[in-house]
């Protein structure tokens, strides 16, 4: 999953990006509202973490303009915890709202929930045959036995499972799983999908030649 973090406090931005990458997310960052809006409109992110107080365009303006074009899930961050501020954020189109200082585990949980809901999946566990994907623990079992996947293998598997029944193009997978600093060599997806099939069975992920990949 690919996340955009728009935050003007350098230390918090670095820490958030580092924590999200350690959780297996691809992460893009922006330190100003206009740059964040440009990226949010240009790329298809799975979620945006958006600070309210930003130089240039503030978070409210970024959200308002983004909502005219996209429904990307947005988690607002703010130091202002008055009810009117929370109401304003939700009424402007935010999907969730978190007050600073916040607990990192709570932010991660809220992001997971936003991404699941956006894909039409309410439950935190995804079951495909005898394969069970726990999105909270980011773990996978097959017939009850734990299977160790690399971070990238897990990300691909989770994305395909969240979009089960849909053919996902290679371009879409690249856009959602690799951030702006990644080296997206053309054969990387083939290598990772091969690893998933080797560990979880050849028939789990179907290749639609010329179209992409699918979990039936």
Measured in whole angstroms, the distance separating CA 7 from the mean position of its chain's CA atoms is 17
Greater confidence (4 vs 120) lies with 4
Query: What domains sit in the chain, N to C, each tagged with a CATH number?
Result: 2-118 (3.40.50.2300), 125-214 (1.10.10.10)
- Report the pLDDT value the prediction gives residue 62, as an integer from 0 to 100: 95
- Interatomic CA distance for residues 49 and 44, integer angstroms: 14
Rounded average pLDDT over 30-52: 95
Residue 41, pLDDT > 90, answer yes
Average pLDDT in the chain: 90
Residue 48 banded pLDDT, cuts 50, 70, 90: very high
CB of 109 closer than 8 Å to CB of 136: yes
């Amino acid at each position: 999953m690919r996340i955009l973090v728009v935050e003007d406090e350098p230390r918090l931005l670095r820490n958030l990006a580092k924590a999200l990458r350690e959780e297996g997310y691809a992460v893009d960052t922006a330190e100003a509202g206009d740059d964040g809006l440009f990226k949010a409109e240009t790329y298809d992110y799975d979620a945006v973490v958006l600070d309210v107080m930003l130089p240039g365009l503030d978070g409210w303006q970024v959200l308002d303009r983004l909502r005219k074009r996209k429904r990307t899930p947005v988690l607002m961050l703010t130091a202002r915890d008055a009810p009117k501020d929370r109401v304003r954020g939700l009424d402007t189109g935010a999907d969730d709202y978190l007050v600073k200082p916040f607990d990192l585990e709570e932010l991660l949980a809220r992001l997971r929930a936003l991404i699941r809901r956006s894909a039409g999946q309410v439950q935190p566990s995804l079951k495909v045959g005898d394969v069970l994907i726990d999105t909270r623990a980011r773990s996978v079992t097959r017939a009850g036995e734990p299977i160790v996947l690399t971070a990238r293998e897990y990300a691909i598997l989770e994305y395909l499972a969240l979009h089960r029944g849909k053919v996902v193009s290679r371009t879409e997978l690249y856009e959602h799983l690799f951030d702006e600093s990644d080296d997206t060599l053309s054969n990387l997806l083939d290598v990772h999908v091969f690893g998933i099939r080797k560990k979880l069975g050849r028939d789990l992920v179907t290749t639609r030649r010329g179209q992409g990949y699918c979990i039936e």
